[in-house]
Amino acid sequence: MWVVVAVIAVVLLYFIAVYNGLIARRNQAREAWSTIDTQLKRRYDLIPNLVESVRGAAKHERETLQSVVDARDAAMASSGNGAARGNAENHLTETLKSIFALAENYPTLRANENFLELQRELADTETKIQAARQFYNNVVMGLNTQIQQFPSNIVARMFNITEEEMFEMDDAEKKAPKVKF
- Asked whether residue 167 is domain-assigned, the answer is no
- Asked whether residue 107 is domain-assigned, the answer is yes
Angle at alpha carbon of residue 125, lines to 123 and 127, rounded to 5°: 70
- Asked whether residue 30 is domain-assigned, the answer is yes
At 166 the pLDDT is: 85
pLDDT digits (tens, 9 = 90+) for 92-141: 777 767 766 655 565 555 555 666 677 788 788 888 888 988 999 999 99
CATH of the domain at 44: 1.20.1440
- Asked whether residue 29 is domain-assigned, the answer is yes
- Asked whether residue 166 is domain-assigned, the answer is no
Share of residues in the chain with pLDDT > 70 (%)? 68
pLDDT digits (tens, 9 = 90+) for 45-82: 776 776 666 566 666 667 776 787 788 788 777 765 55
What is the number of domains present in the chain? 1
- Asked whether residue 176 is domain-assigned, the answer is no
Q: Which domain holds residue 29?
A: 2-158
Which pTM value belongs to this model? 0.62
- Asked whether residue 178 is domain-assigned, the answer is no
Average pLDDT, the chain: 78
CA distance 75 to 110: 25
- Asked whether residue 66 is domain-assigned, the answer is yes
Q: What is the 3-state secondary structure (H, E, C) of the chain?
A: CHHHHHHHHHHHHHHHHHHHHHHHHHHHHHHHHHHHHHHHHHHHHHHHHHHHHHHHHHHHHHHHHHHHHHHHHHHHHCCCCCHHHHHHHHHHHHHHHHHHHHHHHCCCCCHHHHHHHHHHHHHHHHHHHHHHHHHHHHHHHHHHHHHHCCCHHHHHHHCCCCCCCCCCCCCCCCCCCCCCC
